[in-house]
Chain A
Amino acid sequence: MEKFLVLVFVLPLIAGFVSYIAGLKGNHLSKIFTAIVLLTNLVLSYKIFKYVMASADNRIIAVFSGWMPPLGINFYADSIAVIFLLFANLLAFASLFSAKLSYSNRFHGLILLLTAALNGLILSGDIFNIFVFFEILCLVSFALVAYYRKAESIEASVKYFVLGSIASAMLLIGIALIYAKTGTLNLAQIADMAPQWSGLFKAVVFGLLLVGFGVEAGIFPMNAWLFDAHPAAPYPVSALLSGIVIEVALYLFLRIKSLFFVDPLFSLVLLLLGLVTFAVSELVGFYQRDVKRLLAYSSAGQIGLMLMAFSLPTKIGMFAGLLLFINHLLAKGLLFISVGSMSDRSGDRDIDRFSESASFVDKVAVLAGGLSLLGVPPSIGFMGKVLLFIALVKAGFLAFALCLIPFVVLEALYVMRLVGRTLASSGDGRIECPGQVVVQWVFTFIIIVLPIIVSRMSIQTDKLNLNGFNKQDYLYGMASQLLKGDRL
């Protein structure tokens, strides 16, 4: 099983270059090859997921070439990492499957490299490798955003590049400071020494890492690139950027935060940042007419909610964060694929005109994705939202919960405007890529079925008493693990 852990990273990394070369003979060959690799990766990540969930200590470690830490490189997957791994690979496969055939070998190769970087980031047990994978992720993302080579996409990519470079520099400075202080790059070993750091040192490193990861995660005020990059990118890329890339950056930062910065003050700072990110994004998103830009603001808003949930040092908060993450990945992936392809077909991203060529499946997908994103019961978004409010109140942050209210309503209004326009479309459009139809139906099905699975888990346990979840509740187990700051 350890080999699989290495394979999910190495396979798409090598295949990225092979796919590009294969594509020189034609886009079809490149796309088929990429799809096979991503499907293999999805199967592998599912195997890892199943293995980790079934194992006694819910984790798996792979050491490269027998070199033990701190000298060697290691991959580490706990139960939260495997959830991220599974969904990252699912979305990567779905994005490619829904992509138009006209996308070139360059696109396919970059998607594979992006998947490799994501998998590496999720699994890395070493802070320097995290930086390396982070760099790969950024570079590939810049290229994907600029894929169309139009003025809009190049400008968006440049902005992304400028901010991304600053983020990388901050991250590198932060890592260098840590290394200078501890002499190791292994996360677990750093975590053991972190309690001895001075308050000021902690604050500086925390700030540097926050800026480093915060840019990619879309945390306010470092998320200015996001609202240009999402609309300018091809729709499968927007789905990936919004559905998993920003979440993985957030996950990494929170993972490092839970290991190194256990002081409640840091949690409070993140809680505040989460609230501000959510509030500002929803406020500005409310006035957007460009549908992809509107969805980008919604993504930043959801990141704010996730940040708040994960910042709470309670099991319910963690559980809420996980549910919000899964919900956002599925709903936003589906929305970007549907809305993006509709606006591509109609040649217009304006909210009044983008859906002129909507098909039936587009309407169903946008309705399911929109309602799930807003947390309409019984979606898992609803469960996440309720648990977040309960977690905030239980942790004594009633004021934060109250502050969220107007902005949650704002999001509901503008997302429903998008849904309403799609449903009102009289167009009978045809979708160019049959794979997109399959992805839309499958994601819609998952969105409908997932609440039943999750609520069954919840209802089995003592009348929704969240303190009474038992071991069978995987998500709860994962939340506990993250809370404990499980380490190598």
Chain B
Amino acid sequence: MMLLDMIKADNLAFFFSVLTIGFFVANTIFLIFSGIKKGIVLNTILSLFLTMVLLMLYATHNIVIFFALWEMATWLTYLLANNPKKSSKYLWASLLAEFFMLIAVARTVAYGSYDIAMVAHVDPLNLIMFCLPFIVKSGILPFNFWVTDLYTGSDKRFVAYLSAIIGKLGIFGILRVFLLSPGLIPEWFIYTFIYLAGITAVWATFKAVGSEDAIESLSFSSLSQVAFIFASVLLMNKSALIGGLVHYLNHMLIKMGMFMAVVYIWAKTGTTEFKRLGDFVSKMPFSFLFFLMLGISLAGVPPMGGVISKWFMYEGFIEESKLLAVLLFFVAGVGSFLYVYRLLHSIFLGRKKPSIGLVSEMNILAILPLAASALISFLIGVYSRPFIRFAAKALGMDFSEPRTDIGFAYIGIVSAVFGALILFAVVLWLLLPKHRYVPDTEGYTAAAYLPKDIQHWDYSYNFYAPVVRLGDKFVRLFSLDWLARFWKEYIAAIGELFRGIYSGSLKLYGFYLMSVIVLVLFLKEMLK
């Protein structure tokens, strides 16, 4: 009973629980029926355990239990990633932050409370220490050095979970604390991290655009989108908050579906490198359709759901006059068009590659979650009201009086226009001459040597070279791997110093012995 008392399931917990359960069910159905057999049992058991931990985390208000569950989620993520070498940066970054959280927990307990609502009451430092794991988990600069390794090195069966749920856990944490501590959050903290989130979004977008791997590109895309939601939530503006939560839902659906398609391709071909994929639309037409719908949603193009949530988030930033943040997120938004197009083109369109012989369309049960995610995202786009109300309810807000009706009526018109344009494009496609397949050697002239390595002659490699060059300096500046290297070298130097003490040399131990004897004799003299 006491345990139940500590768990106060509220609307926020309900919102996150519904989404997490929904994701887990869909992901499990996909994994079971997609034909990926190896390692599925252990992955499903650990994922189930992780889901249960998250459900309890959403529900609890007791800081000690919150901390325990948060740490369990970190460890389960580490185990599910199934790559100790690649996830070690994630582990130490998370643990480092979590020990600061533990100190905040200890200070709150010493303050006389176990309630999460009291964290901010102790002092602002306590709040910051408590929120540090949320920032790390969201991959906000300068705590993003673990992201590349974890996302690219993770077990492919887990990467959807990582992107759709775990990567956004920090957003829940921020909401849980901030909504319970109105007026206690230092403004400098909010604004600093809003702009850092903006820079993170741009940085991750450039990384996604320049990526040569579908999973890596989608992962950086997730980081960019999470940064956008994170900033919206920090702003604590009504429109931004609702937009953030709707985008949370929308992004979860997008990444769930897109990762499912890519993971299926990985399972069949053994690769997710762009240069080894292409023209899969001919073998996987339905997957392509749903992938396309979700890609449109990710880019924020009507009539899919992405436009609704992004609209509200932008509205919130404009209301709070955070125009620089708007600019940063707008740049990231434009970049999302680029990587979405790259994903669509390099995987499903473009040149036919040998890997195409290995794939076929998913079976109906495996494609079901993909279809469902695309359709729900479409529903958010064309009939957003129930979703917005669901988000508002989770936040404890009344949305019967929206600040503007732009989110409903105007978006409907835009959607109609876009729908008509898409229809027009389909008509054109039907009427105009079709493409034809040509052999790779058609452009071959003058007995030129044709290199075997695909990257030297296929345009799918280094697709956005000019854009990558444009953002190169920016990406390098904010790639904080040097921070991790510095930390490792610094520790190595101190470790080396102390290792001398345990050198195993009897001479050194003799020296210790003599020192102790001298000390004792000295003390003996003093006693006299």
Q: Report which A residues bind B (CB closer than 8 A).
A: 158-159, 162-163, 166, 170, 173, 200-201, 204, 207-208, 211, 221, 224, 227-228, 280, 283-284, 286-287, 371, 376-378, 382, 385-386, 389-390, 392-394, 398, 401-402, 404-406, 408-410, 412-413, 416-417, 419-420, 424, 459-460, 462-466
Contact = CB atoms under 8 A, between A and B. Distances in A.
Interface string B65-89: 1011101100100100000110010
A376 B94 CA distance: 13
A405 B509 CA distance: 30
Contacts of A158: 506
A405 B71 contact: no
A280 B495 CA distance: 8
Interface string B105-121: 11101100010000000
A284 B502 contact: yes
A286 B495 CA distance: 8
Contacts of A409: 92, 95-96, 99
B221 interface: no
B102 interface: yes
A410 B491 contact: yes
B100 A405 contact: yes
Nearest to B89: A413
Given A224-B501, A283-B491, A389 B114 contact: no
B501 A378 contact: no
Contacts of B323: none
Nearest to B100: A405
A463 B499 contact: no
A162 B100 contact: no
A377 B106 contact: no
A60 to B, nearest CB: 34
Contacts of B95: 408-409, 412
Given A170-B520, A377-B69, A392-B106, A463 B2 contact: yes
Contacts of A392: 106
Interface of B: 2-3, 5-6, 62, 64-65, 67-69, 71-72, 75, 78, 84-85, 88, 91-92, 95-96, 99-100, 102-103, 105-107, 109-110, 114, 491-492, 494-496, 498-499, 501-502, 504, 506, 508-509, 512-513, 516, 520, 523, 526-527
A283 B490 CA distance: 11
A16 B338 CA distance: 78
A163 B509 contact: yes
B7 to A, nearest CB: 11
Contacts of B99: 389, 404-405, 408-409
A386 B512 contact: no
A382 B114 contact: no
B506 A406 contact: no
13 contacts: A163-B513, A166-B516, A170-B516, A200-B527, A204-B527, A227-B502, A283-B495, A393-B107, A394-B106, A405-B99, A408-B95, A409-B96, A465-B114
A234 B513 CA distance: 27
Given A166-B513, A420-B85, A464-B6, 4 more contacts: A227-B504, A283-B491, A371-B75, A416-B78
A175 B143 CA distance: 54
Most buried by A among B67, B84, B502, B520: B502
Nearest to B88: A413
B114 A464 contact: yes
A229 to B, nearest CB: 11
Contacts of B75: 371, 376-377
**Looking at chain B's contact residues, is the secondary structure mostly helix, strand, loop, or mixed?**
helix
B520 A394 contact: no
Contacts of B2: 459-460, 462-463
B502 A406 contact: no
Contact of A284 (B67, B106, B498, B516): B498
Contacts of B85: 420
Contacts of B502: 224, 227, 284
Contacts of A416: 78, 84, 88, 91
A383 to B, nearest CB: 9
A382 B68 contact: yes
Contacts of A173: 520
A306 to B, nearest CB: 18
B225 to A, nearest CB: 29
B526 A463 contact: no
A27 to B, nearest CB: 32
Contact of B72 (A377, A412, A466): A377
Contacts of B96: 405-406, 409
A386 B509 contact: no
A224 B110 contact: no
A284 B3 CA distance: 41
A166 B526 CA distance: 21
A204 B68 CA distance: 43
A378 B72 contact: yes
A265 to B, nearest CB: 17
A371 B96 CA distance: 17
Contacts of B498: 280, 283-284
A250 B58 CA distance: 41
B510 to A, nearest CB: 8
Contact of B62 (A412, A463, A466): A463
B71 A377 contact: yes
Contacts of A408: 95, 99
A376 B509 contact: no
Contacts of B100: 405
Contacts of A401: 103, 106
A378 B494 CA distance: 32
B106 A393 contact: yes
A228 to B, nearest CB: 6
